[in-house]
Amino acid sequence: MRRRRSAQGAPVAEVIDLGVSIDIGAPLPHLVSDGMRAVVVFHAGLPHDPEWDGRSVTMVDPGESIERNLGWVMFDGVYQVSLGPPNDEALAGHPLHGAGLEYYSAHEVRNSALVAEFEQRNRVHPHHKPERFESVTHVIITFHDETLECLCGSWKAGALTADFDSAISMAMAALRSGEMLS
């Protein structure tokens, strides 16, 4: 179905591997951006515990100075970035629901309507170059309580062990340097 949609020019979300899983309970994504780059840091999924009976949860406070397994994604050449609705309970309302968009996953969108919309908006610019938008990548990451969408030139991802405050400081430094420390 997705191949047919893509072949017809319809937008399709394809799952991509970040190299780190997304916690399905409380990923607590933190986004920092400077208009050219953006970094999202989130709580990575815990390894499966075969003895967990599903009756208890671990509460995570991002303000605690406790080292955790975190994931990060850095976006370069950012055109637009947002972090907000829909959450996992309303993901069925996203335009790409049914077109490959999955819960708690990262995606690249082929034939992106959002990229087309931004190219259309930019046509009033006196030096508009539609070919600039051919290399724009549309990335969607579906978290538990929010969805991140980014139009960018490129992205990279990784994992680190740190508390959230340290990870956010690293992300802020990465905006200047272009390199996220792991």
Assess whether the previous peptide bond of 95 is cis (omega < 30° from 0): no
In a domain, 59, yes or no: no
In a domain, 52, yes or no: no
Is the pTM higher than 0.75?
Answer: yes
Please report the pLDDT score of residue 49 as a whole number: 64
DSSP state for residue 98 in the 8-state scheme: T
In a domain, 106, yes or no: yes
Asked if residue 25 has pLDDT above 90, the reply is no
In a domain, 60, yes or no: no
In a domain, 104, yes or no: yes
pLDDT confidence bin for 8, thresholds 50/70/90: low
In a domain, 110, yes or no: yes
The string over 54-82, giving b where at least 16 C-beta atoms fall within 10 Å of a residue's C-beta and e elsewhere, is eeeeeeeebeeeeebbbbbbbbeebbebe
Q: How far apart are CA 41 and CA 71, in angstroms?
A: 6
Q: How far apart are CA 72 and CA 61, in angstroms?
A: 18
Q: How far apart are CA 88 and CA 92, in angstroms?
A: 8
Reference 164, options 51, 26, 37, 7; nearest CA is 26
Domain count, the chain: 1
List the single range of 114-118, 154-158, 160-164 with lowest mean pLDDT.
114-118
Asked if residue 16 has pLDDT above 50, the reply is yes
Burial zone of 120 (CB within 10 Å; 0-12 exposed, 13-18 middle, 19+ buried) = exposed
Q: Which domain holds residue 25?
A: 2-7+15-44+68-177
In a domain, 182, yes or no: no
